Amino acid sequence: MKNTLIIIAVLFALLFGGYAIYMKQSRQPSSGSLAIPVDEAKQAFLRGGLKTNTAKTSIALEKILDGGPGKDGIPALTNPAFVSQTEAKKFLKDEMEGIKVTVGKTTRFYPYNILVWHEIVNDVVEGKPLVVTFCPLCGSAIVFDAEGETFGVSGKLYESNLLMYDKSTESLWSQIIGEAVVGERMGAKLSIYPSQVISFKDLKMRYKGAQVLSAKTGYSRDYSFYPYGGYNESPDTIFPVSVKDNRFPAKEIMYAVNIGNASAAFKFKDLSENPAMLTVGSQKITVIKKDGEVEAKDESGKIIPGYYAMWFSWAAHHQKDGVVWQKEKP
């Protein structure tokens, strides 16, 4: 299975016209060392076309891996077109999932089968600048308040997760923690904007007037083809990660919320209308799932926006500050 995933990664890189994956790194076991020489890591940035200031970094530069395609090899979308649900039926099946976002009276749906090819959508909804992100390797679906910034796909990965870059300084941002980790803006953070992952069927049932991201993106991509094969069903990752946490299966989808400097994770399948309660630091939070959508609140009743991610990815980034809710056994 591991060899199969490596082959998928190579085909994926070639499909986008990027350079080949550094195979020596890809063959390392998930629990092994990720280190490569620092000078070589800096040269990799130059080869990728990035102008990031690598002198400023909060993570080990040598642990940043090339994902295959270089800078913009996976093209982010900016100010994309949207279509009606009737039009979307031509390229979406009922079971296909995507990210649902509502701003004011406008609801938009960003299907995974398009996001998997672009990973980032820079959008403005009712005057609100948002960056809608999806990392197929981590199943991480997160929407951020873009604060007027435009983002692209760097072609780099840290702990198998998408590193975005901002167009103003080309600083690299960890998608799953929403923070600049390399470059001039190191330490800056993005605010999470409320979103849900739902199916196209549920969108049609509950959000009649919702707009759907158009398949006419301006790029030649087969949006009916999933380039990662059986990756979601495999326990293996294509790229190595430094932490192996066996409390849940690696690809289990978690719903996560950030509380101060900590993060809380809930197994999505175990959530229900029965409140899941967890104490994070001095803060008590309550999470429920109704009609497939999740809502987290603090003690005052204020909604806390969250996101979705595979267990291995959340665990790799939150070993020190993470708290996990587990459903009590009957």
Specify the pLDDT at position 150.
Answer: 98
- Among residues 287, 307, 242, the alpha carbon closest in space to that of 59 is found at 242
Each residue of 93-104: pLDDT tens digit? 999 999 999 999
Decide if pLDDT at 330 tops 90.
no
Rounded to whole angstroms, the Cα distance separating 50 from 71 reads 7
Query: If you write DSSP's letter for every residue of 134-179 in order, what string do you get?
Result: EETTTTEEEEEE-TT--EEEEEEEETTEEEEEETTT--EEETTTTE
Query: pLDDT band at residue 31, thresholds of 50, 70 and 90?
Result: very low
Give the pLDDT confidence score for residue 68 in this predicted structure.
84
Which residue did the predictor score with more confidence, 48 or 164? 164
Residues 147-179 have pLDDT tens digits of 989 999 999 999 999 999 999 999 999 999 999
What span, in angstroms and rounded, lies between the C-alpha atoms of 253 and 307?
Answer: 10
Return the closest-CA partner of residue 50 out of 153, 187, 141, 202: 153
Beta bridge pairs of residue 325:
266
What is the model's pLDDT at position 10? 41
